Amino acid sequence: MLLSSPSPDQAVDLYAPLSVEPRDAAVQAQPVVPATPGTVDAAVSSGWVTPAQFDTARRKRTALLELGQDTHVYDLLVRDRFLSRDRAAELRGRKQSGALDEARSLLPVGLCERCQVAPVALEEGQLRVMAARPLSLGEKRALMEACDSAVSGLRVTPVDRATVQREIRRLHSQVAVVASVLQQMRSAEVSAGALSEFVTAMLTEALRARASDIHLDLQPDPDAWISYRVDGLLQQRHQVPERVMAAIFTRLKTDTGMDASNARSAQDGRLSLEFAGRHIDFRVASQPLAQGETIALRVLDPESLPSIESLFPAAPEMTERLRAVSTVQGKTGGLLLFSGPTGSGKTTTLYAVSQSFPRDRINVVTVEDPVEYTLPFARQIQINQLREERTTDVERSILRQDPDVIVFGEIRDADSARAALKFTESGHLVLATIHATTALQTFERFISFFEESAKREALFVMAHSLRLLFSQRLAQRLCRCARVATPADAPAIAEVLRDTGITLPAGTPLRLRTGCPRCNQSGIFGRVLAYETLAVSADEHARSEMVRTLEQSHGNFSGITQVPGVHFTPRVQALAQLLRAGEVDPLSARRALGL
């Protein structure tokens, strides 16, 4: 469900696990110098963490030292989601960098072969490569544009051809490991060792490709495929013989705690992988098909969760609004609803906001089915452990935990909707997700859970407790290779934006897709929020007027946007901001509106 902000040219998919940034072993080994009395660590003086959070991390490090483990204080702050990895790297005096063996290749192998270069590292925005021959200006530009991270310069170290060829072979072996293991299993008996190697290679390849999901289909030959979802679209990556796929299914089910002999009913499991010094989870679900079975793996990388600032690269007012929500002042109550269709990133946004709370100071309790991400210092309740209890007992047991903030994974029935309203009435701040396609439709969806006799009371409580209603979809984000539109592009742009309702000032410079090796010539690198919001003032008069409007709505909630004290931001306005900021192109904006 739950986030330093990338610069606008560092396109990041906020709703898929990013290619994992390398960690610098030399930096990790730096000893933490204990602060002497009167000294304040840079993390605290910068305002990025509080003194209490830094002190907690220092004490955790002391406990780990007693167990024979040494971890940098900044790494502990990152792990507890009080500090971003970018800011931790900045505090250490250098940007994220490291050896390629610890992460992914920075450059496409094909480009390395053409230019006869091999990447060495990315340090402080400088891409270091070894080259077997002098590089032309065009080749240098191509290398900088193809790098998987933003590059401000290129440093070339001359070496002999044999060294470069050896490094290129090493990169080839990293890229081709899935295909090579598959080839081995095609031509021989499938061994346990080969299956284990294949599963690790597949998960690693998916992470390097920035996949959010992995799909495996066990179907009759030749329809058994492994696919990755990247930037919202499926990519068919590997065709697998049916007998080999059957063995992979058995291995995955065994490793994730499922019943490997049961192919007739849906099952759920979980898998973990240590990758580039990071612990990444995969939520695994199997489902029978008409002619076989399918398994879907959802990538859950806590460190890929965005910050509130990076959620809204073109809307600082939204950042301020959500930051204000995270400042809990006593038990005054309130309801925040995050809506959108399946796969729109509601869970990611919910966790982004949830981790912005000072969890070391206030009690955050989550109620989830299942628990997606581990949120340090929050009390996370797995809802299926409470299914045998009556709803009233569940509500009572949660309130006995003395929560300040209650996070619902999803409101999906009358019981959870009723519980959310009851918690807000008792002075708790409640955050929850709900399936609805627009902000106003969220009212209709929420109220539909109640019986006719209870709807009027539900509307009354909702009107008095609602603070923010956030409806979201995802728009494809432009790669940094995007070009600025020319006057010749204007007719085509006008045609794409026709009937969208998006209005832009005359002469607004827009960016259009180009394509480069980094984005696989698609012009797209990640996704960004296309949202609409409805924020309600705390003014009692405004809330009374909202109650009256809801009571007279008869199911048509559009009049709410005209109530004084209600601030409505339509999706077309948010997309116009993204277009002006160069985050999306007109085609992405149109698709985000479902047109």
421 plus 506 within the same structural domain: yes
CB 434 within 8 A of CB 338: yes
Domain containing residue 394: 308-590
526 plus 576 within the same structural domain: yes
- Walk along the chain (595 residues) in steps of 10 and give the mean pLDDT of each run: 38 42 35 45 87 91 84 86 80 49 60 88 80 91 81 87 84 71 86 89 89 95 93 91 95 95 93 80 94 94 81 87 79 88 88 90 88 89 63 75 90 88 91 91 90 87 89 92 91 92 89 87 91 86 80 75 88 94 94 90
Cα–Cα distance list, 145 to 149, 215, 469 (Å): 9, 30, 39
Residue 16: the pLDDT is 47
Report CA dihedral (205, 208, 214, 217) to the nearest 10 degrees: -30
DSSP state letters, 80-134: TTSS-HHHHHHHTTS-S---GGGS--SS-HHHHHHHTEEEEEEETTEEEEEESSP
Residues in the chain: 595
pTM of the full structure: 0.77
Angle between helices 192-208 and 242-255 (to 10 degrees): 80
What CATH number is attached to the domain comprising 126? Answer: 3.30.300.160
11 falls within a domain: no
Q: How far apart, in whole angstroms, are the C-alpha atoms of residue 338 and residue 345? A: 10
Q: How far apart, in whole angstroms, are the C-alpha atoms of residue 44 and residue 49? A: 5
Cα–Cα distance list, 169 to 132, 139, 143, 238 (Å): 14, 20, 18, 21
188 plus 249 within the same structural domain: yes
Which of 247, 280, 300 is the last residue before a domain boundary?
300
Which of 91, 108, 135 is the last residue before a domain boundary?
91
Q: How far apart, in whole angstroms, are the C-alpha atoms of residue 412 and residue 396? A: 20
205 plus 264 within the same structural domain: yes
DSSP 8-state assignment for residue 500: S
Cα–Cα distance list, 571 to 201, 466, 532 (Å): 40, 20, 4
**Model pLDDT for residues 12-25, shown as the tens digit of each residue:** 444 444 333 333 33
- Tokens linked to 584: 């999306």
Q: How far apart, in whole angstroms, are the C-alpha atoms of residue 250 and residue 195? A: 10
136 plus 166 within the same structural domain: yes
Residue 173: the pLDDT is 61
Q: How far apart, in whole angstroms, are the C-alpha atoms of residue 328 and residue 337? A: 17
> Could you give the number of structural domains in the chain?
4
Q: How far apart, in whole angstroms, are the C-alpha atoms of residue 447 and residue 458? A: 7
CB 536 within 8 A of CB 542: yes
595 falls within a domain: no
170 falls within a domain: yes
Q: Is 29 exposed, middle or buried (0-12, 13-18, 19+ CB in 10 A)?
A: exposed
- Tokens linked to 277: 């010094």
159 falls within a domain: yes
Q: How far apart, in whole angstroms, are the C-alpha atoms of residue 367 and residue 382? A: 6
268 plus 323 within the same structural domain: no
Q: Is 370 exposed, middle or buried (0-12, 13-18, 19+ CB in 10 A)?
A: exposed
SS3 at position 75: helix
What CATH number is attached to the domain comprising 293? Answer: 3.30.450.90
Residue 20: the pLDDT is 35
108 plus 68 within the same structural domain: no
150 plus 225 within the same structural domain: no
Q: Which residues of 138-155 are buried (b: 16+ CB within 10 A; e: fewer)?
A: ebbebbbbbbbbbbeebe
- Tokens linked to 238: 């590997």
214 falls within a domain: yes
104 plus 77 within the same structural domain: no
396 plus 265 within the same structural domain: no
19 falls within a domain: no
- Tokens linked to 394: 């569940």
**Model pLDDT for residues 314-333, shown as the tens digit of each residue:** 888 888 888 888 877 667 78
Residues 6+ apart with CB under 8 A from 203: 214, 271, 273, 275, 282, 297
215 plus 339 within the same structural domain: no
Query: Any idea which residue has 């193809």 for tokens?
Result: 146
CB 302 within 8 A of CB 374: yes
6 falls within a domain: no
169 plus 183 within the same structural domain: no
192 falls within a domain: yes
Which of 140, 158, 174 is the last residue before a domain boundary?
174
What CATH number is attached to the domain comprising 425? Answer: 3.40.50.300
